[in-house]
Structure 1
Amino acid sequence: MENHPFPKRRRLMAPPPRSASAAAAAGGGFIPDDILFSEILVRLPAKCLVRFQSVCKLWRATIISTSFARRHLEHSRPRPSMVVMPRMFLSNPKKFKLQGVTFYRFQPGQSKVAELILEKRFPRGIPMFSMPLHCDGLILIPCVSGEIFVCNLTTSEFVELPRGSHSVALEHRVAFGFDPWSGKYKVARHFLRSSHSGGESRAGHEILTLGDGEDCWKWKATIDPPYPINARTPICLPGFFYWSALHSTTGHGLSKGLSEQQRHAMPAWWQVVLCPLRLAM
């Protein structure tokens, strides 16, 4: 009897393991966009978010939105620190300019040396600026000659705002804050109009909105203030700017709502209450 060899049995091979992402995709599992943005990306460092803006248009639009920025600030717990901006005094600010601006981070009690964050140079120079203002990591730099710059230290963006209405006075101040009703950052400035009849100059006031939309990046006139505004840095609170009136017969201060086209005159005691806050800033 002849021996017939039996065919060799093939060993059943297990399928190769799939990656977690592939398994999730095959099983229909995915992370919804609202969870991804509101619970994951908001907890990442700012440097990572800058890189993630190049993923797609949706990611970029979400990351640079005001609502995402404020939620990211709520989750961030940075160490106590301050931003230092050295400024050189110019005897003739209309004739001479600064070579640029520098930003330093200083942590009191933790370091004796300030860390350079950003250095911005201007080939044609930048005019001397007055008191810088800040809100949620954005720094507003108003120049004495009328130019206004906004700097985002997180993204190192440095932009110049459109020029506002002409002012016959060199000394002027601007206000900068967040409007909780519209969810946008707004800049306000006062100015003096020239009087063609040779009388006293009239005060004007206008607001510019930062962000996306047709109404943004344009100066819009508001109701003129009843008194000339003092050249002092205003108090910026959520939804309102508080100015100091100049030559007011009643000693009133001025309150300007960011979402209202109205001004409110405050009693004289507001001046006394706000003065210590203004000095502390």
Structure 2
Amino acid sequence: MANSKMKYDLPHIPDELFFDQILPRLPVRSLNRFKSVCKSWLHVISSSNFVKSHLHHSISSRNYFFIRSLPFTKQNPIRSSPTECYVLNDNKHENKLVQLDVHREFQLNLEFCRRNCVIGCCNGLVCFYVDCGRFVKGKFILWNPATKVSCVIETPCVQHLAKCGFGYASNIDDYEIFASFESLYRKPGTTQIQAWVFKVRVGEWNPIIDLPTDVGYFPRGDSNATYSGDHLYWIVGGFKDSHIPSFDLSDFKFKDVKFPVTMNTRF
């Protein structure tokens, strides 16, 4: 009788330990399920501080995600999606590269575009640019493969996309898309460039007023930027006049990085 009245107290886990140390180490699929437990859990898991903590722990993961953009050829019809995705789980028991179905696994629809390419990746987010045809506004797609959430961002104009880049501005805790456009209507031998920045959190395009005097170089060289430390970098120009402009995502300022003297510019 005495034994039947015994109380078994479950060990109590402090909220600080649970939300700060345990949950941030769980996979995204589990966290999405936990959002349905109650409103307080939804609020915590959706907060920017929790997202940063989860990202910090995810960096040490040995799961790798690869995206391959295929060239636009006759084998890739206009209404197909020339993008392949692979996942690699690198551990001592198994090291296998598995291809995933973009539409079925991630609910990402790229069929409406004429062609697409990967602009960049940052903190688990992938940025695509899709070309919808001449004289039609293109679209950027931000995609989170872990949560299967994507959003479509229409370009601010119908001009030809010259340069673009995707990165994170730490001072304002926001992701940004840089895009410069070359006018479709210009005199022969001239270049007319407009540049814009899209702030994801704000949800709008902002024009860049102070363009560098040598912005005419922008249509040459690689179109996609390399992101590093709140900056976007391009190698632009020709064989004798190559240089590396950088764009600060925090203050929208351009700077020129000196080209290494010993570097072969024939890339």
Task: Indicate whether 1:164 and 2:155 are aligned.
Answer: yes
Q: Alignment partner of 1:85: what SS?
A: strand
* TM-score of the pair, normalised by structure 2: 0.75
Task: Indicate whether 1:238 and 2:233 are aligned.
Answer: no
* TM-score of the pair, normalised by structure 1: 0.71
Q: Distance in 2 between matches of 1:113 and 1:14?
A: 55
Q: Which residue is equivalent to 2:44? A: 62
Q: Alignment partner of 2:178: what SS?
A: strand
Q: Distance in 2 between matches of 1:79 and 1:86?
A: 23
Larger Rg: 1
Tell me which amino acid in the other structure corresponds to 1:153. Answer: P
Q: Alignment partner of 1:69: what SS?
A: helix
Q: Alignment partner of 1:130: what SS?
A: strand
TM alignment of 1:85-124, pairs within 5 A: 85=68, 87=70, 89-90=72-73, 96-99=78-81, 101-106=83-88, 110-116=94-100, 118-119=102-103, 120=107, 122=109
Q: Which residue is equivalent to 2:190? A: 200
Q: Which residue is equivalent to 2:254? A: 263
1:113 Cα deviation (Å)?
4.5
Task: Indicate whether 1:187 and 2:177 are aligned.
Answer: yes
CA contact (8 A) 2:29 2:146 kept: yes
Residues 198, 115 of structure 1: alpha-carbon distance in 2 compared, 3 angstrom cutoff: closer
1:166 Cα deviation (Å)?
1.7
Q: Alignment partner of 2:167: what SS?
A: strand
Which runs of 5 or more residues in structure 1 are unaligned? 1-10, 25-29
How many residues are aligned here? 250
What are the superposed Cα offsets for residues 134-173 of structure 1, whole Å, 9 maximum, x if unpaired?
1121111112342111111111112212x1222532x534
1:202 Cα deviation (Å)?
1.9
Residues 65, 184 of structure 1: alpha-carbon distance in 2 compared, 3 angstrom cutoff: farther
Q: Alignment partner of 1:17: what SS?
A: coil
Residues 234, 63 of structure 1: alpha-carbon distance in 2 compared, 3 angstrom cutoff: same
Q: Distance in 2 between matches of 1:271 and 1:82?
A: 34
Tell me which amino acid in the other structure corresponds to 2:178. Answer: A
Residues 88, 196 of structure 1: alpha-carbon distance in 2 compared, 3 angstrom cutoff: closer
What CA RMSD, in Å, does the superposition of the two structures yield over aligned residues? 3.7
TM alignment of 1:218-237, pairs within 5 A: 218-222=204-208, 223-226=210-213, 227-228=215-216, 229=218, 230=220, 231-237=222-228
CA contact (8 A) 1:84 1:106 kept: no
Q: Distance in 2 between matches of 1:90 and 1:192?
A: 25
Tell me which amino acid in the other structure corresponds to 2:229. Answer: P
Residues 255, 129 of structure 1: alpha-carbon distance in 2 compared, 3 angstrom cutoff: same
Which runs of 5 or more residues in structure 2 are unaligned? 133-137
Q: Which residue is equivalent to 1:8? A: none
CA contact (8 A) 1:100 1:122 kept: no
CA contact (8 A) 2:69 2:116 kept: no
